[in-house]
Amino acid sequence: LALGVSSASGFKFMADWKAPTAGDGQKLKDTKERFGDKQLVVVTGASSGLGRKTALALLRTKQYHVVGAVRDLDKMEAVAEIDGFDMENFTPMECELQSFDSVHKFCDNLEEFRLAKPIDRLICNAGIYQPSLDYAKWSMDGHEQTMQANYLSHFLMINRLMEAVSAAPDPRIILVGSVTGNDNTVGGGGVYPIADLHELDGFKAGFE
């Protein structure tokens, strides 16, 4: 019986297997031509702040092809020119996090662009921070803007891209949160106890 179950499981696995085709070979060739040996990284919010600096730092290593997910392509173009982005290894793509439809479209475009290349790093950096507003602002989908941009849309993006990320040999998904330890923004550095990222004492004390 055990042998029968094992064999059945094996046949079930084989049922999902597809023989490589000539099209697959061409796709792999095209992938190699587009990316070479570079890893593929996606950075949301690459036109300003930490995302801008992160994209530039990654490009300077010559080890990555960076996709910048941004809501304003004209702004991204200007920033890339000012900072001297290596445009052979940087691809800007439109992604408005205030719209789930835009996130879906971005993921579709990225899937087409990456060919057979897995996503080695997904850096969810973009966010909205509006602490001085005394009223709520709403997204295109009817959610409070901070909640949608910082959380819901990134959650959707991660779910859409998880398979491509999982295919990488050493994948990473990074969620950026910078305000707590940033003392030059409203509220930044004023959330006590301040997080200590060395021993995490601040986080521990905060939970207590």
pLDDT value of residue 60: 98
User: pLDDT at residue 15 above 90?
Assistant: no
Residue bearing the bigger pLDDT, 139 or 4: 139
User: What string of DSSP letters covers 34-76?
Assistant: HHTTPEEEEEETTTSHHHHHHHHHHHHTTSEEEEEEES-HHHH
pLDDT at 33 > cutoff 80: yes
Phi, psi at 121, each rounded to 5°: -140, 135
Which has more pLDDT, 46 or 2? 46
Amino acid at 175: L
Q: Which residue has the tokens 């052979």?
A: 88
Distance of CA 76 to CAs 56, 134, 194, Å?
Answer: 12, 30, 33
CA angle 164, 155, 165 (to 5 degrees): 15
pLDDT in tens, 158-207: 999 999 999 999 999 999 987 655 555 555 555 555 555 566 666 667 66
Nearest to 80 by CA among 61, 63, 56, 103: 56
What is the band of 9 on the pLDDT scale with cuts at 50, 70, 90? very low
Q: DSSP state, 138?
A: B
**pLDDT tens digits, 81-96:** 999 999 999 999 999 9
The per-residue pLDDT for 181 is: 54
**Closest CA relative to residue 126, chosen from 41, 40, 49, 195:** 49
Q: What percent of the chain has pLDDT over 70?
A: 75
13 pLDDT more than 50:
no
Could you give the maximum distance between any two Cα atoms of the chain, in Å?
68
Number of continuous H segments (helices) and E segments (strands) in the chain: 8, 5
Closest CA to 149 of 99, 74, 76, 93: 99
Pairing of strands 121-124, 172-175: parallel
